Every structure is written in C-alpha cells, then in structure tokens.
Amino acid sequence: MFNDIESKLNSISEGGSLDRETLAAILSTEDGASKNILYRYADKTRAAHMGDGITLRGIVEFSNVCAGTCVYCGLNRYNTKLKRYDLESERILASVAELAAHKIKTVVLQSGENHTFDGIWFGELISEIKDKFGIRITLSVGEKPYDVIKHWKDKGADRYLLKIETSNKNFYDYLHPGMSFENRLRTLKDLKELGYQVGSGIIVGLFGQTTKMLADDIIFLKENDFDMVAIGPFIPHVNTDCAGHRAGSAEMTLKTLALARVVTKNAHMPSTTALGVIDSETKIKALSSGANVIMVNFTPERVKDLYSIYDGKSAGSGKFSNYSMEKMAAGIKRHIDYSEGDSLKAPGVERVDTIVKR
Ligand code: SF4
C-alpha cells in the first residue's frame, strides 16, 4: 500500500478519473506510513493552490430557531428542551464590530432554518453591515426560495454555505425526514446562478455511512466545483434520536479532509470546530493536512451555549486573541492571512455554474 497510495494520489492530482473504489481504498487505509503520505500530499496540494496563509472567518450565530428535522442536530424542530433565541440587529452589529476590530474581514451570519426573517429585515441588516464595515458577508441560513436569496445578494451578501451533508439521496432522506434532497440541490444551483461564492460539505462518521459513500461525497464536491468545502465529524446530541450513537472518528475525518483537498485543490477548507471538540490536536493537524481556514466564534456569550447543534460545541471557545492565533500559526510554519479570503475560483477563473446530480 505504501507506494501504491502515492501513485494513486499522483494520478488523482494529475486529473486522472475519479473512481469510488480507489477513493474508498485510500480512505480505508489504516497503515500509519500510508496515512502520513496522504496528509503530506494534501498539505503540499494546499500550499501549491492556497499558499501558506490561514484565513479567518468570524461567525455570529444569530438565531437557533429552526424548522429543519435533521436527526443528528440539536437545533432540529423536535427538540423542545432547547430554549430558542433571535438576536436583534443591534446585537448582531455589535458582534460584527468586534470581529472587524480583530482585523477579520468575513462575517458568517449563521442560524437555523428560520423562515421568520426571509423578508425585509435581514436584507437591511446585510446592507448595514456592508455600509458600516465593508467586509465580506457569508450566509449560512439553510434552504430559501430563489427570490429571497436573490434579494440578499442584491443587498450585498457575497457567499453562502449550504452543506449537502451526504450526497446519497436515500441516506439524506433517512437523516432528514420530510425534507427534500432535490430542494437542497435546487438551492445550491440557484446560489451558483446568482453569483454567490458557494460552500458545501459533509458529515463524517454518521451511523450507516461507508467509505464508498464518503468517496461518492468527495466526487460530488469535486464535480460541483464548490468555492468552499467543509468536512466535519458527526457528534451526537443528547436531545436527539442520535443520542447514544458513537461520534465519528477524528482520524477518518482527517483522511476525508486530506483526500478532499487533493481532489478539489483550490477550495477554501476549514479545520472545523467539531473536529476540535473531538480532539483539539487533530484540529491543528487538519491545518497541516489540507485545511486553510479557521472559523472564530463571535456569538454573544449569553446565547453561545444555546446554539447547540451537537454536544460540547462551545467548549473551549474562549475570547479570541490575534496574538494567540498568530502564535499557533507560526508554530506550524504558517501565518494568519488577514485578507478577505475570496474564492480562488472567482471571478475570471473558469468555473462550473451548475449542480451535477449524481
Ligand atoms: S442542521 Fe441546520 S437545518 Fe438541520 S436541524 Fe440543524 S440547524 Fe436546523
């Protein structure tokens, strides 16, 4: 397997055909030397396509109200034990001011799939952030009608995150009862057509998931040429039907992230917060195995624990310090990139503008 994995990665990197058997075999490897080859290969790919900067995104979780039914998520609408909140514009703007003061030039406005703000209010907030701070705005607010996401784009939103979670329709339907795989694909397509920089991603370690399914997911992420790709582990939540299931492994998440880097080359890829919850060392290791982005949480302390998508999410997310972040980066021979961190695929770079359905 030792030489074998390098030749397979060479072939993938040079644009050879992507087949699920090969990708699944790489993901299945348990041999330490082979895994290190994969991680180093991903790191080299990251350096060649993204440079050595670690880009920061400041996240504000402004509402935990959600109409979604995702069985793995503590925000799903059936979790009646969770106290729900909506932040007012002034409080959101205060968090944006805080992250901007730390030289962070992207705010990620994240919420559950809360349809109460689809109207004018949110568009006005986007305009106000743009006018006051001039930073990039990423939305992570779930599936929305075309007119709504068009209005927000017109108001100044730049990017949108909408994870596919799994590209296997049957598995998706099982994990999201009453939700529509087709609607998710439709929304991703609409976002691309409207000119958003679009991010998607998957969860690793869900019960019933196989390495072949993960291989299909990586192919899906490649075929759709997303600007941003997030790969995070499954972590159960005590007040969901998944309580008691085993969490996804840090190692399989790292292998999937590394292979996704080799395949997708120049997508922005975070070392996810969830990875840090499973294992703080793996969160740092992810930055040397393909990842180039860190999300920093600027949600107000008084509601941070209520954005409870999985157990332990806010653990260890203390006050942000530029000095500590820069020191961490220097420790792995990298630096913090304080630029906007736009997609390397847009504009002027040839890109895929439709969603490829598998
Ligand atoms: S994953 Fe998103 S849409 Fe699904 S329940 Fe959680 S917050 Fe809601």
DSSP E strands in 234-278: the ranges are: none
- Please tell me the residue having the least CA distance from ligand 1 atom 7: 112
Q: Does the reported pTM lie above 0.85?
A: yes
Query: Could you list the residue range(s) of the whole structural domain that residue 7 is in?
Result: 2-335
pLDDT, residue 317, reads 66
Query: Is position 141 within any domain?
Result: yes
Give the C-alpha separation, 160 to 141, whole Å: 8
Give pLDDT, residue 353. 43
Q: Specify the ligand 1 atom closest to the Cα of 176.
A: 4
Separation between Cα atoms, residue 161 and residue 325, nearest integer Å: 24
Quote the CA–CA distance of 44 and 51 in Å, as a whole number.
10
Report how far residue 241's alpha carbon sits from residue 144's, in angstroms, rounded to the nearest whole number.
Answer: 26
SS3 114: coil
Q: Pick the atom of ligand 1 nearest to 73's CA.
A: 6
Q: For residue 76, give the ligand 1 atom closest to its CA.
A: 5
| Pocket-forming residues, ligand 1, beta carbon under 6 Å | 66, 68, 70, 73, 75-76, 112-113, 142, 309
Mean pLDDT, residues 88-94: 97
Cβ burial of 101 (10 Å; 0-12, 13-18, 19+) is exposed
Domain count, the chain: 1
Q: In the numeric block, which tokens belong to residue 32?
A: 């330490």
Tell me the best of 62, 76, 82 to mutate to test the pocket of ligand 1, counting ligand atoms within 8 Å of each CB and taking the most: 76
- Cα 190 vs. chain centroid, distance in angstroms? 19
73 Cα–ligand 1 center, Å: 6
* pLDDT tens, residue by residue, 171-201: 999 999 999 999 999 999 999 999 999 999 9
Residues in the chain: 358
180 inside domain: yes
Identity of the residue numbered 1: M
Q: How far is the CA of 41 from the centre of ligand 1 (A)?
A: 33
Instruction: Answer for the pair 263, 13: CB distance below 8 angstroms, yes or no.
Output: no
Most ligand 1 atoms within 8 A of CB, residue of 66, 164, 308 to mutate: 66
pLDDT tens, position by position, 254-305: 999 999 999 999 999 999 989 988 888 888 999 999 999 999 999 999 999 9
75 contact partners, CB below 8 Å, separation of at least 6: 64, 66, 68, 82, 112, 307, 308, 309
What pLDDT was estimated at residue 1?
A: 53
Q: For residue 165, give the ligand 1 atom closest to its CA.
A: 1
Place of tokens 């582990």: 233
pLDDT tens digits, residue range 317-337? 678 999 999 999 999 999 999
Task: Tell which residue, 180, 139, 144, has the closest CA to residue 156.
Answer: 139
Q: What is the CATH number of the domain that holds 212?
A: 3.20.20.70
Q: Is residue 16 part of a domain?
A: yes
For residue 345, being part of any structural domain is answered with no
Q: What's the CA-to-centroid distance between 75 and ligand 1, angstroms? A: 6
Is residue 77 situated within a structural domain? yes
Tell me if 101 is assigned to some domain.
yes
Tokens for 57, please give them.
């995104």
Residues of the chain with pLDDT > 70, as a percent, come to 95
